[in-house]
Structure 1
Amino acid sequence: MVPADVVNEAGVTVVDVGEYLDHDEWEVALDLLVDLNTGWRPPAAWWDLLINSAELMLLADAAARCRWGRYESIHGIVRAELRLLPPTEGGRRTPIPGKGILRPLWDVGRRTAAGDPDLLVARIWAEPAPALPPGATGPVRLGPLSPALWRHLQPGMTITMHEGRPVLGTASIIEASNLH
């Protein structure tokens, strides 16, 4: 399913994956296949195969990452650099779990009929750490509940993260593509 010319950021190709499979390094091969999504947009069926493989190997974290990849293949990608406010400035006192569990509200620039911010829900996947500590800055992927309402985002735009009314962080958009 992977085009022969796909190369990820580390220079890995499908040929490299085959070599690991030849040596029964199934978990390494799976990790490499997940990372091959940087050179092409895999279809949902490809992610389904990886999800099934991860589940058969009892790799819950890998299966969760594959489910996230499947979501992005269907709905599009939003990547950003998130800067959390420190607790001393009213920010979170606990880390943001990195596996798409937290679903905060985001001000992406839309307004209600009354002129108030129209806050939208999106899950957060922290990269590559398992969590983003209070007051930290790091790369994240966002999984909007309504991706079509995020289509206007462009690299360089800033959006704000909320849990209730106060702003808890700001995110600078790195990539927003194929949102639907």
Structure 2
Amino acid sequence: MDDVPKLLEAASLLVPEEIATENDFTVNDVWEYLTQDEWEVAFGLLEELGDVRPLPLGFWETLAAAEGLRLERSAAWCHWRCYETRHGVIRADLTLRPASAARRQTPLAGAGVLKPMWNIGNRTPAGEPSLNIAALWVEFTPFLEPGGRGPVRLAPLDPSPWQYLQPGQEITMHEDRSVAGTAVVLEVQRPSATPTA
């Protein structure tokens, strides 16, 4: 319960009670779930706030306390959002090659564990494709089946080669020399000037 004050501090970014509509989440909503030991629901409400507007790094760092509450996926998501606050957001629509045409025969883990290589259009000095590594988070589902399609988020190990990526650009995913999937960039958000605010 030591994390409750921190969570309520994070919840202070929710809509104030006095101006909330019936569709808004408020600090009291979060508090109610916490008092009923519905930690996962409370975290879910707070995580959804990040989809509505950009939030400061401290918000995501506070929510990363989910590690101590055994909410591993929530903790991983909050760490992912810390990364995005510092380095920017890259979202794409990924289509994996079917199992009959690719090396991958099992579902792709979706919670930022896999760090495949990507051909994003960069070249080596010799003119060969230069592959760049980025962790992969599959949105809205815990995994993506071979041949499946879905929105993903990318977290480059080195963000600088990715700075020229544009929405609509096609990039390819590689787990070895062969193409494992093709993605179309949906969104590129540069990091805010003050990620710690």
Is TM more than 0.5 here? yes
Map 1:28-177 → 2, pairs under 5 A: 28-52=41-65, 54-177=66-189
Residue segments in structure 1 that go unaligned for 5+ positions in a row: 6-10
| TM-score normalised by length of structure 2 | 0.81
Question: Quick one: which amino acid aligns to residue 110 of structure 2?
Answer: G
Alignment partner of 1:22 out of 13, 22, 32: 32
Following superposition, the deviation at residue 179 of structure 1 comes to 5.3
In 2, the alpha carbon distance for the partners of 1:12 and 1:152 equals: 38
> What RMSD over aligned residues (CA atoms) do the two structures have, in Å?
2.0
- Contact in 2 for aligned 1:147/1:179 (Cα 8 Å): no
The aligned residue for residue 2 of structure 1 is 13
Following superposition, the deviation at residue 128 of structure 1 comes to 1.0
Following superposition, the deviation at residue 91 of structure 1 comes to 4.5
Tell me the SS of whatever aligns to 1:109. Answer: strand
**Residues 167, 155 of structure 1: CA spacing in aligned structure 2 closer, same or farther, 3 A cutoff?**
same
In 1, the alpha carbon distance for the partners of 2:150 and 2:50 equals: 21
Aligned sequence identity (%): 43
Give CA-to-partner distance per residue, 1:88-145, whole Å, 9 cap, x none.
2225111110111111100000000111101000011111111111111111111111
Give CA-to-partner distance per residue, 1:132-163, whole Å, 9 cap, x none.
11111111111111112111111111100011
Give CA-to-partner distance per residue, 1:36-94, whole Å, 9 cap, x none.
11222212211111011x13322111111111111111111011110001122225111
Following superposition, the deviation at residue 12 of structure 1 comes to 5.7
In 1, the alpha carbon distance for the partners of 2:123 and 2:99 equals: 28
Tell me the SS of whatever aligns to 1:165. Answer: coil
Question: Quick one: which amino acid aligns to residue 28 of structure 1?
Answer: V
Question: Quick one: which amino acid aligns to residue 123 of structure 1?
Answer: A
In 2, the alpha carbon distance for the partners of 1:32 and 1:130 equals: 19
Tell me the SS of whatever aligns to 2:129. Answer: coil
Residue segments in structure 2 that go unaligned for 5+ positions in a row: 1-11, 17-21, 193-197
Question: Quick one: which amino acid aligns to residue 13 of structure 2?
Answer: V
